[in-house]
Structure 1
Amino acid sequence: MRDKKIQGDSRWLLWKLALSFSFIGSFPVLIAGVWIIQDARTHIAKSTLEVTRLMTQSMDAMRESLTGITQYGINELSSTLLDINRKMPDKAREQLEGVYKSFFEASERELEGLDLSEEARRVLKGRLEKIKGDLIGLSQATYADMTSEMRAAIENNKQVVAGSILSAEEGTKAVTVAAKSEMDKAVAEASRQIWTDVGVTIALVIVFAVTLGIIMARRIANPIKALADTARRIAEGDLTLSVERRSRGELGILEAAFKEMLLYLKKIAELVEKISRGDLTGQIEPRSDRDALGKSLKEMSFYLREMAVLATNISAGHLREEVVPRSDQDGLGKAFSDVVQYLRSIALTAARIAKGDLVREVQLGSKEDVLGEALREMILGLRSLISGIRTGAQQMSEDARSQAVAVQGISDSIRQMAHNVQAIAQRTEAQSVSIEETSSSVEEMAMTAREISESVGSFSMSMEKTTESVLKIIEAIQDIEIHVNTLVMVSREAGTDAEKGTEAVMRTLEGITQIKQAVEDTARVIKRLSDKSERIGEIVNLIDGIADQTNLLALNATIIAAQAGEHGRGFAVVADEIKGLAERTMKSTREIGDLIRSIQMESGEAVKLMKMSSESVVSGVTLSMEAEQALGKILKSVQKSEGMVYQIAEATREQGKSAEHVKKAIEEIRKMLDQILRAIDEQSKGSKQIRSAVGDIRDLSHEINSSMEVQATGLSQIAASMQEINQLVQRNSEQARRLLQSVDRFILEG
Structure 2
Amino acid sequence: MSEDFHLEPLPADADTGDLLEALGPIEERPPESQYCVFRSGRERFCLPVLDVEEVLDWPLLTKLPLGPAYLVGIFNLRGAIVPLIDIAITEGRRPGLLPKHVVVASLRAESHHEDLRIGIASAGKRAALHRYVAARRSTGASSGFAAAVGSLSRAIDLGVIGRFWVEICGVMLAQPAAPKQAALWEAVMKSRLSSTVWTLVLLNGVVGSFVLWLAFNAGKKAGEASFLDFGSPAGGSALFAIVLALVTWIILAWRFGALLGPVQALAEFSERLAAGDPRARAEVNSNDELGYIAENLNRAVAKVSKATINQDANDALQRSITELLSVINQVARGDLAQRGKVTNDALGNVTDSINYMLDNFTKVLERVRKAAMEVTACSNNILVAADEMQAGATQQDQEITNTSSAVEQLTVSMKQVSNNAEASAEAARRALDAAEQGNRAVRDTLEGMQRIRASVQATAKKIKSLGDRSLEISEIINVINDITEQTNLLALNAAIEAARAGEAGRGFAVVADEVRKLAEHSRSATKDIAALIKAIQAETNEAVVVMEEGTKEVEGGAQLADQAGRALDAISNVVRQSAELVQEISLASKQQVRGTEGVAHAMQIISSITRQTSQGTRGTVATVSQLVKLSDQL
TM-score (norm 2): 0.38
Looking at secondary structure, tell me which structure has more strand per residue. Answer: 2
TM-score (norm 1): 0.33
Decide which structure has the larger Cα Rg and report it: 2
